[in-house]
Each structure stands twice: as structure tokens, then as C-alpha cells.
Chains A and B, each alone.
Chain A
Amino acid sequence: MEIIPLGDSALIVRVRERFEDSPEETLDEVLRTFQQLRSAAIPSVIELAPAYTTVAVFFDPVAVAKARERPGEVFGWLKEQILHVVAAGGDRGKRRKTKRAIRSVEIPVCYDPEFASDLDDVARRAGLSTKEVVDLHSVAEYRVACIGFVPGFPFLTGLPKKLATPRRDTPRKEIPPGSVGIGGAQTGIYPLRSPGGWNLIGRTPLSLFNPKKNPPALLRAGDRVRFRAITKEAFEALKRGEAFE
């Protein structure tokens, strides 16, 4: 484990060096560290955010320095606290149940051509029919490796290798919310109208981000995700349901 400053008000705890070698284990370890640090509630820590191989720790250096009287030791003190929490968590983890429950979320997706402007491209590249692409995409099990890019956007790991497709050369200026895309070896969902370069293969009627709710995002890092293929009619019906929420 490595602890490195990210400017003067944040640091990064790098739990593992690489992600792709063992995504599941890496994610579990990152989330364990995230949970440990969260429950430790180290004074002056403002918030934590996990992503792939790391947990970012945002803190108030003034609060640390005021409590320590030595501004030269802000980073050293925090590093010590973090190492202590992680080491202690490792011991306690053995006594208590080691894994917290991982949520499973099913996301209905309509792969209708209307919502899937790049499905043909993805199929052609993979040497598959569009139906095979849809079947592969909706049978696989994914995990959220990180939320980012825009609020609520899940980067999902676990895409069948055959479906990996490079990002489009020219990103689209505007992608409708709910669009499901493939970008390289990952799949994801655009929560908001935004620009983007991923290949669009479907759309979900679910709302991925709602700032009026807490938590504001449907998904969080570590969640297991499955896609369920639905018809256009089911999409419209679910969309109406969402509107009433």
C-alpha cells in the first residue's frame, strides 16, 4: 500500500498497483479500505472516494495543523493515522465477518435500434450478430469499479472480452440520459445529457442520478450489476413510472 499526496488538501491511498490483473479482488480490497477509513472517522478528514485501485482522502490541512501545531507534519500525521486504521482493520476483520454485503442491482435496458446507434458497429467489430451482442451484454455480470466522469456515471468492469470496442474517434456532443455504452473494455451508463465517446448500444429508463435524493446516485462502487433486456413497450412503461417518483 502506498500513500501519496494529491496536492495539499488530499491524498491517495493506492491499495494495489494494477486493476486489470484481478479486478474482483482489487475492488474488494479497495472497498474494504474505504469502509475501514470511513468508520474510523479520522479527525479533519472531509470525505473519501474509491476508484479502481485507490481510495482518495480529502482533508482540511488547517484543522490538522491547528491540532498538531506543526504545519510540517500534516501529511505525516495523516499517513500514520491511515496506516494505523488499515492495520487495525485487518486484525478486526478476521474476528468479524470479513465481507460486507455486496448489493446486486438489475438494470433494465432496451436494445432497440432507436437507442442503439452503435450496436451494428460493435457487432461488426466483434464478428457477431447484433442479437449475440445483446445476449452477451445482458448475460454477463458486472461490478462498478468507480463512479465518475459525470455524477452517477458507473464504470463497469466485467464486459465480455469479445465486446470490447474502442471509443469513437469523434465524441458525440450530446448523449441522451440513460444511454448504455461500451468504451474500450468497459461498459457504462450516461446518467445526464452530456458529451461522450462511447459506443451506444441501448438505453435504460432508470434514473442514474437524482440530486434531490440521498444518496443521489443509483449505483456505488462495488455494486454488482446485471442488465436485463426489455422491449420498447416495457421501456416506455418504466419511464412513465420513473416520472412519477
Chain B
Amino acid sequence: MIVRRAGFLTSVQDVDRTGFREFGVSTSGALDSFALRVANLLVGNGERAAGLEITLGGLQLCFDDERIVAWCGGEFDVHIGSTALPAGHTAFLRAGEELKFGRPQIGCRCWLAVSGGIDVPLVLGSRSTDLRAQFGGFEGRTLRDGDELVLGKFRRSPAFAKATADKQAVPTAGISSWTAPHDWASPAKRDPILRFVRGIDSSRFNDVTIQHFASETFTVLPDSDRMGVRFDGSELQREDNVDLTSEAVAPGTIQVPPSGKPILLLGDCQTIGGYPKIAHVITVDLGIAAQLRAGDHVRFSEVLLADAHRLLLERERELERFRIGLSLQGS
């Protein structure tokens, strides 16, 4: 697969990198790992296969053999030649065809899965690019124009053979009519609400501050990146002034530095931090958080830990049913 245009910021990512936090290694991985898992399932990959994380579009790929592709994420215009490929649908690409990602209308990132996966070496158990420490993925960096990515092998099922044959006759026939559930394929929202559970240090803030946090609108600042989303809004000042001992943080943690402006940590965040943790965005909402870009307005809404777990379990059960549905379709 040839990268004709690398776009604004594109990197190879799989679900995550775990097992090396004690050495300070971040999780990295797709900021919306669920979106990548769904895209992988759509093209017949294992859920943990490596795909591309595309930020703000501009990516153009050319394939040197036939492949199935699917993508999930923000509202991007994606085209194969002149045919649009909506989120959550699969497309059969012939050798030489081009896949183009335009600028997003809503959100800022999407995840592309290609049948066979992106075949970069496993580094510390993952194919994800650690952009901060510059290892893993494709040469430990974001993609550049002209890069050539090796794709993994995949099984050409009878359904695949039929679809490529159909496509010979009608070019638009290569795009599936069925799709992944809309919420999974297109999780980006205008002015979203992110659900959170109380943070370890929430008691260091008084009730009024917590109320501000849980009711006011915060605006995403431009210096947000894969490490974290920075917010502007009412200043969240702590009650005490104790220097906290550094301890673990995780993607989803919302910490409040002395400026009082909260930061929501994402996949490339450090493994430890010393700022008070006011809240944690729940796992099922991390995909929405991954779409935030400068100027977006966000509100936070509290849920109980048990609800966070219930929502996550429900989503996994639905994914299980989706997986079974797909396997029936493929046979």
C-alpha cells in the first residue's frame, strides 16, 4: 500500500500497548480503540490488527493488490475514485485503486482497517506507534508522502471473490449496503456530553467547584493532542494546597493543573502524574473524547462506577452479537 499523501497526521495504531507501564511506557494505540475494533471486524481482521489513525484527513492511499477496507470515526468525506465510502461500510478495492480522505465536518479522527492489517513489526507486544518515544508502528513516526506499507495476508473468501467479480461489472458494487451501527461507525457529536466517574482527588475540590465542573460548558483549546485535550472554562481551584505524590494516571483521567484549567488525558499520556484527578471519563465515552478539536464545546455529566461498567458490558455484548452476525454473512 503506497501513501501518496500522508495528510495532516496519520500513524499506524492497533488497540493498545499494555504490560510495560511499570517502565513508563504509554498505552498509545487508536484513541478510539472501539472504532478500530469495529473497522477490523468489518474487513474480516482480528480486532487487534493494526490500522491507520487519520487526523484531520488529507490522506491518499493507493493499493497494489485487492483488499477490503472499512473506516469508523469522525464525519469525513472518503472516496474511492469518485465513489463515496461512508463510515461503517466495507469496500472492495482492486489493485491500483485510490482511497482518499477529505477534511472532517465533525470530529477530527478516523480509523481505517485494511484486510490483512498493516504488517509492521510488533514492538513491546504492539504495532502501535509511540509518537512521543518514537518507536513502534512505521519507523516510530507519523506517515510521510511516499511511504510504502506492507499489508498482512488475508483469506479471500467466496464472498470476496463474488464481490470483486460484481465490481468488474458495476464499479459502485464494491461497497456494502449493510453497515455497522451508526453510533459505532460515527461517534463524533457536536457539543457532546462526556460521562465521568468521580476522580481520586475529587474531595480536594469543594462542592461548588464540582458543580461547576459538572454543569458548565468547557471549550477545547488548540494545544490539544494525542496526549490530552486541554479545556478553557471556569477555573477549578482546589481547597487544599498539598503537593501530591505522583501516581498512576490513565487515558480518561481529567487532571487539574495549578491554572485550574482541566486536561483530559488520552492514549499517549504519561503513565504517572502529580496533578489532582477530579474525574475520569468512562471508557464507553473515550471514542467521543477522541473526536474533540479546538473550539468544540463539551459538558461533563456524572455517572456511578457501576453504570460505567454496565454500559461497557452492554457494548461488549452488542459487539459480540455483531461479530456473530458478520460471520454468518461471510459464510
Mark A residues whose CB is within 8 Å of B: 4-10, 12, 14, 18-19, 46-54, 56, 58, 61-62, 65-66, 71-75, 146-153, 155, 192, 194, 209, 211-212, 214-217, 220-221
- Set of chain A residues within 8 Å of B134, measured between Cβ atoms: 192
Contact of A192 among B133, B245, B272 (CB under 8 A): B133
Contact between chains at A148 and B246 (CB < 8 Å): yes
A-B contact pairs, 14 of them (CB 8 A): A6-B248, A7-B197, A8-B282, A12-B200, A61-B312, A61-B313, A71-B312, A75-B306, A147-B24, A148-B271, A151-B23, A151-B130, A209-B133, A216-B20
- Set of chain B residues within 8 Å of A221, measured between Cβ atoms: 22
Given contacts A5-B197, A52-B246, 20 further A-B contacts (CB under 8 A): A7-B250, A8-B305, A12-B247, A19-B245, A49-B21, A51-B272, A52-B245, A54-B248, A58-B18, A66-B316, A71-B313, A72-B310, A150-B24, A150-B133, A151-B25, A209-B133, A211-B135, A216-B25, A216-B124, A220-B23
- Set of chain A residues within 8 Å of B316, measured between Cβ atoms: 62, 66
- Set of chain B residues within 8 Å of A9, measured between Cβ atoms: 250, 252, 283
Q: Complex: how many Å from CA A65 to CA B246?
A: 30
Is the C-beta of B136 less than 8 angstroms from some C-beta in chain A? yes
Q: Complex: how many Å from CA A220 to CA B24?
A: 10
Residue of A nearest to B265 (CB): A7
Q: Complex: how many Å from CA A214 to CA B233?
A: 43
- Set of chain A residues within 8 Å of B309, measured between Cβ atoms: 8, 61, 65, 71-72, 74-75
Residue of A nearest to B315 (CB): A62
Q: Complex: how many Å from CA A52 to CA B21?
A: 14
In angstroms, how far is the closest chain B Cβ from the Cβ of A57?
9
Q: Contacts A150-B24, A151-B24, A214-B124; is A8 near B272 (CB within 8 Å)? A: no
Contact between chains at A7 and B283 (CB < 8 Å): yes
In angstroms, how far is the closest chain B Cβ from the Cβ of A59?
11
Contact between chains at A51 and B246 (CB < 8 Å): yes
Is the C-beta of B123 less than 8 angstroms from some C-beta in chain A? yes
Contact of B24 among A56, A72, A152 (CB under 8 A): A152
- Set of chain B residues within 8 Å of A62, measured between Cβ atoms: 312-313, 316
Is the C-beta of B280 less than 8 angstroms from some C-beta in chain A? yes
Is the C-beta of B308 less than 8 angstroms from some C-beta in chain A? yes
Q: Complex: how many Å from CA A49 to CA B248?
A: 8
Is the C-beta of B132 less than 8 angstroms from some C-beta in chain A? yes
In angstroms, how far is the closest chain B Cβ from the Cβ of A217?
4
Mark B residues whose CB is within 8 Å of A: 18-26, 123-124, 130, 132-136, 197, 200, 245-250, 252-253, 270-272, 277, 280-283, 305-306, 308-310, 312-313, 316
In angstroms, how far is the closest chain A Cβ from the Cβ of B263?
15
Residue of B nearest to A149 (CB): B270
Q: Complex: how many Å from CA A152 to CA B270?
A: 12
- Set of chain B residues within 8 Å of A212, measured between Cβ atoms: 123
Contact between chains at A148 and B200 (CB < 8 Å): no
Residue of B nearest to A73 (CB): B306
- Set of chain A residues within 8 Å of B130, measured between Cβ atoms: 151, 211
Residue of B nearest to A69 (CB): B313
In angstroms, how far is the closest chain B Cβ from the Cβ of A193?
8
- Set of chain B residues within 8 Å of A8, measured between Cβ atoms: 197, 252, 280, 282-283, 305, 308-309, 312
Residue of A nearest to B310 (CB): A71
- Set of chain A residues within 8 Å of B197, measured between Cβ atoms: 5, 7-8
Q: Complex: how many Å from CA A56 to CA B272?
A: 10
Contact between chains at A51 and B248 (CB < 8 Å): yes
In angstroms, how far is the closest chain A Cβ from the Cβ of B76?
28
Q: Contacts A7-B250, A66-B313, A148-B272; is A220 near B22 (CB within 8 Å)? A: yes
Q: Which of the listed residues B21, B23, B26, B310 has the most CB atoms from chain A within 10 Å of its own CB?
A: B23
Residue of B nearest to A217 (CB): B23
Q: Complex: how many Å from CA A7 to CA B24?
A: 19
In angstroms, how far is the closest chain A Cβ from the Cβ of B269?
11
Q: Complex: how many Å from CA A66 to CA B320?
A: 12
- Set of chain B residues within 8 Å of A73, measured between Cβ atoms: 306
In angstroms, how far is the closest chain B Cβ from the Cβ of A227?
20
In angstroms, how far is the closest chain A Cβ from the Cβ of B192?
18
Q: Contacts A10-B250, A192-B133; is A72 near B312 (CB within 8 Å)? A: no
Contact between chains at B24 and A153 (CB < 8 Å): yes
Contact between chains at B22 and A18 (CB < 8 Å): no
- Set of chain B residues within 8 Å of A209, measured between Cβ atoms: 23-24, 133
Which 5 pairs show the lowest CB-CB distances between chains A and B? A7-B280, A56-B248, A148-B272, A72-B306, A8-B308
- Set of chain B residues within 8 Å of A153, measured between Cβ atoms: 24
Contact between chains at A47 and B247 (CB < 8 Å): no
Contact between chains at B250 and A6 (CB < 8 Å): yes
